[in-house]
Amino acid sequence: MLQDTFPLALDIAGLCKRFDRPAVEGLNLRVKSGEFYMLVGPNGAGKTTTLKMVSGLLKPDKGAISVFGIDALADPIAAKQITGWLSDEPMIYDKLTPMEYLEFVSGLWSVDAHTAERRSRDLLHWLGLDDNANERCEKFSRGMRQKVALAGALVHEPRLIILDEPLTGLDAGSARLVKNVLAEKVQGGSSVVMSTHILEIAERMADRIGVIANGHLIAEGTLDELRDRTGIAGASLEDMFLSIVARSRAAA
Amino acid sequence: MSAARSFTWFAEHESRLAWRDMLSMMTAGRRDRERRVAIGVAIFLVFMHGVAFLVLRRYLNEGIRPDLSTLVAITTGILLSGSAMLSQAMESVTRTFYARSDLEFILSAPVRADKLFAVRIGAMALTAALMSMLLIGPFIDVLVWRNGLRWLGAYGVLIAVSLATTALAVVLTFTLFQLIGAKRTRLAAQIVAAIIGGLFVIGLQLAAMFSAGSYSRLAFLQSRYVMARAPGLSSIMWWPARAVLGDGYCLFFVAGAGVALFVAITALYAPRFANYAIAASGSWHSAGRKRQSVGLFKIESAAATLRHKERLLILRDPWLISQSLMQLLYLVPPALLLSRSFESRSGAPVILVPVLIMAAGQLAGGLAWLTISGEDAPDLVNSAPVSASRILRAKIEAVLQCIAVIFCPFTMVLALISPAQALIAIVGVTCASASSAAIQLWFRSQAARSQFRRRHTSSRIATLAEAFVSITWAAVGAVAASGSWLALAVAALAILILLAVRSVSPGKA
């Protein structure tokens, strides 16, 4: 059981971001250290925008973001040093091999060469990419590219791992591998904030689940807490999710 | 679907795609720009006709006779445009092999793919002809207007040459495939295309330098040296030129030969296209080089890591290498001129300095786009604990390092002949490269690296500014190398242009 005395891995307060219309409105979110937090919500709910703001890829219009006590808006470099980011669209370099890619990422995060190489080999081994470690990524399938990108997000051993729909396009075997790696990272003390639309995964892996709609966090808690809140005994996350979102829409 | 029906269906499909592709390239995907683009094209055509008139006026006044010097000049023009068309067609054939966009889908359909490839080969010939017409057409139009309809035969020759060069490009690329395999052909074909594109003009330049002792290609073509060695007036070699001059018999022969060659090669090679495209696709899955030893990571600072990555990606980009090679090929004549000056100790010619500066500016512009705008993993780089300014600085440093590596040998040899001119060249190369990089920085917009070919469409102001500033810095170099203090005034103009460009850049506007 997570202790409240642990430092917060992520503390978001009053976060706002507007594009043509408000994408995130006054969002408050707290993720404890060593917690696996899942963010679920319908398309266009504001999940990616929120995660991008946490990773320093978007500037919020208003609000505060703190990563392990570091003000991510005032000192983004320090916050980025302990954060890893992975998007649903694997952004890697076609002309680099996975090892070269991980060497590059390690350089950006100033990991020493010996450690970086050892971790890279371990990660590629865990992700089943041993045989492809020295082939250029241009030959890779989408799943392989996503695994290389995940290795890049983990090679500097971030304390906070932000993942935006990381399992999109992965086959069952690859998805299992990724989930195992993430579970291992959480056991090792890292915190994970992950958005997903695959509710079974959220149900099985998350310590806590946050439901976001129209830029607001409309429900949050463990699976049991969410069941209590919806009042549907023995309900699956899918049932609860649909019920919460429907109520939120009705209230709006 | 019948064979004939599938042929016309593919032709319609491909024309629609080509038209929309071209329109999107011209308008950068914005429909509201179509009218402006149409006006721009019209202005360009009027301008080109004006240029053609000014260039041809003297010859029209003197009267154009079908003598040896006219035949030599026209034949040279045909060979020049032919080498450019051949280069472009080879590029297109290679792209068709390796493009994965719709090929796999079409190959999986129950239609005969050879029809599609025949249409695509035809489209390549048509594109080559249209591109050449854009530049040569105004000259032909002026000749028709001032010298009679017989000059319309030039259009026939242009189309025949485009058909013949496309056929030749198909044969060359297929031969490369057979000789060196699918994996290596991609890079090799692009390099061969670049060499072909520059070979004729460079060869002509070299011949002018070494036989007539002149840097002027036109003077060389009209020299006694060439006239004495050219075949007689009745030679078959002059038939294309005679066709341009309106000789109906020659036009019939040249056009017929072009069409026959194209039809024969298309019939022979279109059915093989699918197999080669599949082979090209398979080459992606072959095993890569293994690097299993340990202790290979060399990590310094974040900036050094970024610079290393940019250099690696530049070196592994076959299209960029071929394009850069083409630009560098044009440095061969001045380099030889440099070596001749060195041997004779006669002092380096003034022309070297601006050529080096211009080449550096253009090369730096392309490289700067690739490193700054063509970042394939922007989220990764932006989520790293490195400040945005440090990232940009490292990228620009990588570009300037590449420029330094390429241009250092030239300036070092130049320094042995004339230290002052070498210094001017170094300052000019630095200014031109830095200016081009700065323009790319001001007009940066995130794009995939694969969009390099279309980088000009994202900002035409940036493209024009880059060329204009490079030319101005080259002018500064030329004036300074000739020993005039006026160079300072031209340098001030270059800086003013840069400031003006900065003021209209998206960040400032």
Residues B199-220: pLDDT tens digits?
777 777 666 666 655 556 666 7
Average the pLDDT over A180-189 and give the result. 89
Query: Cα(B425)–Cα(B353) distance, rounded to whole angstroms?
Result: 5
Q: Tokens for B119?
A: 């249409």
pLDDT of A195 over the 60 cut: yes
pLDDT of A11 over the 90 cut: yes
Residues B28-57: pLDDT tens digits?
666 677 788 788 888 988 998 998 898 888
pLDDT of residue A84: 92
Question: Pick from A94, A99, A112: which is nearest to B299 by CB?
Answer: A112
d(CA A67, nearest CA chain B) in Å:
13
Chain A window 64-103: which residues touch B at a Cβ cutoff of 8 Å?
77-78, 80-81, 83, 85, 87, 91-97, 99-100, 103
- DSSP string for residues in chain A: ---TTSPEEEEEEEEEEESSSEEEEEEEEEEETT-EEEEE--TTSSHHHHHHHHTTSS--SEEEEEETTEETTT-HHHHHHTEEEE-SS----TTS-HHHHHHHHHHHTT--HHHHHHHHHHHHHHTT-GGGTTS-GGG--HHHHHHHHHHHHHTT--SEEEEESTTTT--HHHHHHHHHHHHHHHHTT-EEEEE-S-HHHHHHH-SEEEEEETTEEEEEE-HHHHHHHHT-TT--HHHHHHHHHHHHHHH-
Listed range (B270-274, B330-334, B426-430, B431-435) with the worst mean pLDDT: B330-334
pLDDT band at A162 (very low <50, low <70, confident <90, very high): very high
pLDDT of residue B436: 93
Q: Testing the interface with B: which of A95, A117, A164 to mutate, by most B Cβ within 10 A?
A: A95
Residues A136-146: pLDDT tens digits?
888 788 889 99
Listed range (A9-18, A119-128, B340-349, B354-363) with the worst mean pLDDT: B340-349
Average the pLDDT over B6-14 and give the result. 77
pLDDT of residue B105: 66
pLDDT of B326 over the 80 cut: no
When comparing pLDDT for B107 and B1, which is higher? Answer: B107
Cβ-defined contact of A108 to B377 (cutoff 8 Å): no
pLDDT of A243 over the 90 cut: no
Question: Pick from B302, B379, B387: which is nearest to A87 by CB?
Answer: B379
- Name the 3-class secondary structure at B72: helix
A111 vs B: CB within 8 A: yes
- DSSP string for residues in B193-210: HHHHHHHHHHHHHHHHHH
Average the pLDDT over B448-461 and give the result. 69
pLDDT band at B110 (very low <50, low <70, confident <90, very high): low
**Which chain A positions have a beta carbon within 8 Å of B388's beta carbon?**
none
Question: Pick from B290, B305, B382: which is nearest to A57 by CB?
Answer: B382
When comparing pLDDT for B225 and B126, which is higher? Answer: B126
Average the pLDDT over A220-229 and give the result. 83
pLDDT band at A73 (very low <50, low <70, confident <90, very high): very high
Question: Pick from A80, A93, A132: which is nearest to B384 by CB?
Answer: A80
**Which chain A positions have a beta carbon within 8 Å of B294's beta carbon?**
117
A142 vs B: CB within 8 A: no
When comparing pLDDT for A55 and B6, which is higher? Answer: A55
Cβ-defined contact of B297 to A114 (cutoff 8 Å): yes
Q: For chain B, give the mean pLDDT.
A: 81
Listed range (A15-29, B64-78, B146-160) with the worst mean pLDDT: B64-78
Q: Count of A–B CB contacts within 8 Å?
A: 115
pLDDT of residue A210: 92
pLDDT band at A1 (very low <50, low <70, confident <90, very high): very low
Average the pLDDT over B162-174 and give the result. 92
**Which chain A positions have a beta carbon within 8 Å of B299's beta carbon?**
103, 106-107, 110-113, 116
pLDDT of B288 over the 80 cut: no
pLDDT band at B340 (very low <50, low <70, confident <90, very high): low
pLDDT of residue A99: 93
Average the pLDDT over B75-82 and give the result. 86
pLDDT band at B496 (very low <50, low <70, confident <90, very high): very high
pLDDT of residue A3: 44
Cβ-defined contact of B295 to A92 (cutoff 8 Å): no
pLDDT of B334 over the 70 cut: no
B309 to chain A: nearest residue by CA? A104
pLDDT band at A149 (very low <50, low <70, confident <90, very high): very high
**Which chain B positions have a beta carbon within 8 Å of A87's beta carbon?**
379
d(CA A199, nearest CA chain B) in Å:
26
pLDDT of residue B226: 74
A119 to chain B: nearest residue by CA? B297
B304 to chain A: nearest residue by CA? A107
Chain B window 84-123: which residues touch A at a Cβ cutoff of 8 Å?
none
Cβ-defined contact of A117 to B295 (cutoff 8 Å): yes
d(CA A108, nearest CA chain B) in Å:
4
pLDDT of B464 over the 90 cut: no
Residues B249-264: pLDDT tens digits?
999 999 999 999 999 9
pLDDT of residue A67: 94
pLDDT of B315 over the 50 cut: yes
Query: Cα(B201)–Cα(B359) distance, rounded to whole angstroms?
Result: 16
A111 to chain B: nearest residue by CA? B299
pLDDT of B503 over the 80 cut: yes
pLDDT of residue B287: 47
pLDDT of B241 over the 70 cut: yes
Percent of all residues in chain B with a pLDDT value above 70, rounded to a whole number: 81
B302 vs A: CB within 8 A: yes
Provide CB contacts within 8 A for B304, sequence distance 6+: A107, B394
